[in-house]
Amino acid sequence: MRGVVMYGPGDVRVVDRAEPRIVEPTDAVIRLTATCICGSDLWPYRGAEPADGLPMGHEYVGVVEEVGSDVTTVKPGDFVIGSFVISDGTCDNCRAGYPSRCVHAEFVHGTIGTQSERARIPYADGTLVATPGMPDDALVPSLLAASDVLGTGWFAAVAAEAGPGKTVAVVGDGAVGLLGVLAARELGAERIIAMSRHADRQALAREFGATDIVTERDDAGVARIKELTDGLGAHSAIEAVGTQESMMQAIRSTRPGGHVGFVGVSHDVQLPGDEIFFSQVHLHGGPAPVRRFLPDLVDRIWNRQIDPGKVFDLELPLAEAAAGYTAMDERRAIKVLLRP
Amino acid sequence: MRGVVMYGPGDVRVVDRAEPRIVEPTDAVIRLTATCICGSDLWPYRGAEPADGLPMGHEYVGVVEEVGSDVTTVKPGDFVIGSFVISDGTCDNCRAGYPSRCVHAEFVHGTIGTQSERARIPYADGTLVATPGMPDDALVPSLLAASDVLGTGWFAAVAAEAGPGKTVAVVGDGAVGLLGVLAARELGAERIIAMSRHADRQALAREFGATDIVTERDDAGVARIKELTDGLGAHSAIEAVGTQESMMQAIRSTRPGGHVGFVGVSHDVQLPGDEIFFSQVHLHGGPAPVRRFLPDLVDRIWNRQIDPGKVFDLELPLAEAAAGYTAMDERRAIKVLLRP
């Protein structure tokens, strides 16, 4: 089959990869209907992580072709969505709501790689969720978004305890930040401040529920959030970048007792203990336990309550994946959907 | 009046200080019944913080002598306990449960200094709590403990979400860690693992509710906690030291989705972003919002439900404060009570 492999910074190619097959009785093999490029794929693309023959892609929707003998919740012909982390669904961590830290966790990125025609999904019962039926093509982007970018924005909003009466600041205007805005709105937040200096992203943030836009960054951005919140800071902050600057901006924008949900994959970040201590914020984040939220998110999408697929502003055939990486790297696209 | 002033590392003297007087209509002046030396007083004593004429002491119980014209909840003759942070009790942060970050917050340490005969307490209504009557002398140590060391251990246990069904690891066997054990027990924790290698502190930890003792530290300590918890780590960890080693030990001892409550005053700590990210623990801590807990803690002490005063294993007259500092510095005493 054809699939995307990264051979080094900026070097993304669509090549022949081995055909996926059932290995364990808990596996499923799916044919990808759609997949996409993640902001986190840009870390190795930009040389911030090693990439030497890395199978790319960890977001996926598709149709089950075959299942192992122990799989009971999905069957051939089902349309399914899965998390970007494989999870067995039965261990203590899964049952506590942290399938992203399943004792059998495996990142789809770099091993399975779903920027491809087909994929073997281990622990299919614990990882995949089937939709109620075959979706309209118009629903596919939104269902695909649930696989990571929506699920991650959702987790950030939950970790930030966004909810009624709360003011939520969102640091990062990539697809995850934008869907953090949508999640905060769905969770009932009163005021949602998107931090963005790009007109197109500001517009989408407003459409997803942002009530305010802050264009300033760093200290000036923090000062502006404080101005908007009686000098106290937001109740909640969503961090969706992963740099030192974005983490500190999120923490400093949050009032004492408030909550910071951080989901930007942390790169070269060191949190100063004394500042964290005296800030008195709550910190929680990490790789989103997307599988926890999938049934609810699929419901909301199926019922046309939310339309997270709007973050995809470029669609390409899988064969042109390299052009998709370039477009995201140059910020010409928010998020690129690939059709195998 | 006489009071303790620190003039430099190891240089603690009882000297004449100005008599406290009512300055603002929200002030009270109290006569100290008892005060004490805090583990955090050892930071400047050991040269880790500057101390050039620092009025010492921030824990206090005593009798109100005089109040300003706006004070309504305490009156002359009342026996009172207050937090180690002054709070107005009315601002948004106070009402949200974070009096330690009151918009009028002032640390008693270093300015007011309650290792003294008398003290002016600003915002008396928002800071002090009166007992139901004049306490027996036997209750005084426990009431004094509520002022910081119990309130801080309690906050750590609350921040760590200690409760029924939970396994709680406690890093630090000073008075705060020991009272974190007591708090975890009161909050209903199922299993409480005290990390200590001192027989006397282990014994007190057991008395306060510890079910297990771990003597190993650092990686070996973390490995031991994992062994005791099916390889997953504790649900909750209390950090009561404030060093890089203790913070990482607490974080690494906690399972994904678990909670770390950190109250050791952070010194030279840098939390690595990537490890915090992938740990998926919740982090919350800082200077304890003791005033939030004081009414409940006073009740529990008054009803003889808890006896936190047991952490005091040395009592000295105020005039001999220097000997108290030496005893704590040399770990010959867990905590020293001073009688003005």
d(CA B191, CA A131): 42
d(CA A88, CA B174): 41
Rounded distance, CA A160 to CA A158, Å?
A: 5
d(CA A74, CA A89): 14
CA distance B334 to chain A (A): 24
CA distance B273 to chain A (A): 5
Identity of residue A330: E
> What fold characterizes domain A152-285?
Rossmann fold (3.40.50)
Cβ atoms of B281 and B251 closer than 8 Å: yes
The alpha-carbon gap from B213 to the nearest alpha carbon of chain A, in Å, equals: 24
Please give the class, per CATH, of domain B151-285: alpha beta
* Residue type present at position B97: G
**For position A181, what pLDDT does the model report?**
98
DSSP assignment of A202-249, as one string? HHHHHHHT-SEEE---HHHHHHHHHHHTTTS-EEEEEE-S-SHHHHHH
Measured at the CA of A303, the angle between CA A301 and CA A306, to 5 degrees, comes to: 45
Question: Which residue of A230, A231, A277 is in closest CB contact with B266?
Answer: A277
Q: Which of B92, B244, B286 is closest, CB to CB, to A277? A: B286
Q: Do A281 and B282 touch (CB under 8 A)?
A: no
Contact B173, B205 (CB under 8 A): yes
Q: What are the C-alpha distances in Å from B261 to residues A161, A282, B159, B207?
A: 18, 10, 5, 22
Radius of gyration of chain B (CA): 19
Q: What is the token pair recorded at B273?
A: 């972003």
Q: Where are chain A's structural domains?
A: 2-148+289-339, 152-285
- Chain A residues within an 8 Å CB radius of B281: 284
Structure tokens at A213: 């836009």
Interface probe with B: pick from A235, A283, A290, most Cβ of B within 10 Å: A283
pLDDT of residue B138: 96
Contact B273 A267 (CB under 8 A): yes
B143-163 pLDDT, tens digit each: 999 999 999 999 999 999 999
Please compute, for residue B241, the number of CA atoms within 13 A of its CA located in the half-sphere on the CB side. 18
Residues of B in contact with A230 (CB under 8 A): 92
Query: Is beta strand B336-339 parallel, antiparallel or unpaired with respect to B28-37?
Result: antiparallel
Cβ-based contacts of A94 with chain B (< 8 Å): none
Q: Do A255 and B96 touch (CB under 8 A)?
A: yes
**Using an 8 Å Cβ cutoff, are A58 and A107 in contact?**
yes
Residue-level pLDDT at B261: 98
Alpha carbons within 13 A on the beta-carbon side of A154: 22
Between strands A118-121 and A28-37, the pairing is antiparallel
| Overall CATH class of domain B2-148+289-339 | alpha beta
Q: Which of A101, A276, A292 to probe by mutation at the B interface, max B CB count within 10 Å?
A: A276
Q: Which residues of A touch B (CB under 8 A)?
A: 92-93, 96-98, 100-101, 103, 230-232, 242, 244, 247, 255-257, 262, 265-274, 276-287, 289
In what helix (H) or strand (E) does residue B30 lie, and over which residues does it extend? strand B28-37
Q: Which residues of A touch B273 (CB under 8 A)?
A: 242, 244, 247, 266-271
Query: Going residue by residue through chain A (340 aa), what tens digit of pLDDT does each one get?
Result: 999 999 999 999 999 999 999 999 999 999 999 999 999 999 999 999 999 999 999 999 999 999 999 999 999 999 999 999 999 999 999 999 999 999 999 999 999 999 999 999 999 999 999 999 999 999 999 999 999 999 999 999 999 999 999 999 999 999 999 999 999 999 999 999 999 999 999 999 999 999 999 999 999 999 999 999 999 999 999 999 999 999 999 999 999 999 999 999 888 999 999 999 999 999 999 999 999 999 999 999 999 999 999 999 999 999 999 999 999 999 999 999 999 9
B279, A271 contact by CB (below 8 A): no
Contact check, Cβ <8 Å, B269/A268: no
Do residues A32 and A84 lie in contact, with contact meaning Cβ atoms separated by under 8 Å? no
Residue B214, C-beta contacts closer than 8 angstroms, at least 6 positions apart: B169, B193, B194, B195, B196, B221, B224, B225, B228
Instruction: List CB contacts (< 8 A) between A286 and chain B.
Output: 256, 276-280
Alpha carbon distance A224, A214 (integer Å): 7
Q: Which residues of B touch A97 (CB under 8 A)?
A: 257
pLDDT tens-place values along chain B, 340 residues long: 999 999 999 999 999 999 999 999 999 999 999 999 999 999 999 999 999 999 999 999 999 999 999 999 999 999 999 999 999 999 999 999 999 999 999 999 999 999 999 999 999 999 999 999 999 999 999 999 999 999 999 999 999 999 999 999 999 999 999 999 999 999 999 999 999 999 999 999 999 999 999 999 999 999 999 999 999 999 999 999 999 999 999 999 999 999 999 999 888 999 999 999 999 999 999 999 999 999 999 999 999 999 999 999 999 999 999 999 999 999 999 999 999 9
Structure tokens at B93: 């942060």
Q: What is residue B180's DSSP assignment?
A: H
Strand, coil or helix: A25: coil
Helix (H) / strand (E) element for A284: namely strand A282-285
